[in-house]
Amino acid sequence: MGVSHRFFKGIFSLVGISVLGAYASNLAQVVTVYALFIRHSEIFMLLPVFLGFGLATGIVNGIGGEFLVGHIMRLPAFREVV
């Protein structure tokens, strides 16, 4: 998520960056399981399910991140540091 935040900060909001992070995590998990444990291409049939859950959790995490950033930016101590 840090890499996507760095390169896509002006394009995507925190919700979009969180969804990208969730998708990358899910894809990495499925590829790792395929490479190390289950050598059947059918494992990739689970990707739509995982990506659906990744979309939902990415949206929830992104909304929570937007909420927290909004509150943190109003703190006087944070404004002095930034």
Helices (H), 1-82: 2-8, 14-36, 47-73, 76-81
CB 48 within 8 A of CB 31: no
Per the confidence metrics, is the pTM higher than 0.75?
yes
Q: How many CB atoms lie within 10 A of CB 77?
A: 7
Answer yes or no: is pLDDT of 80 > 70.
Answer: no
pLDDT score recorded for residue 6: 82
- Residue-wise pLDDT tens digits, 19-77: 999 999 999 999 999 999 999 999 999 999 999 999 999 999 999 999 998 898 888 88
Question: What is the domain count for the chain?
Answer: 1
pLDDT score recorded for residue 81: 59
Domain that holds residue 24: 2-81
- Residue-wise pLDDT tens digits, 10-34: 888 999 999 999 999 999 999 999 9
3-state secondary structure of 52: helix
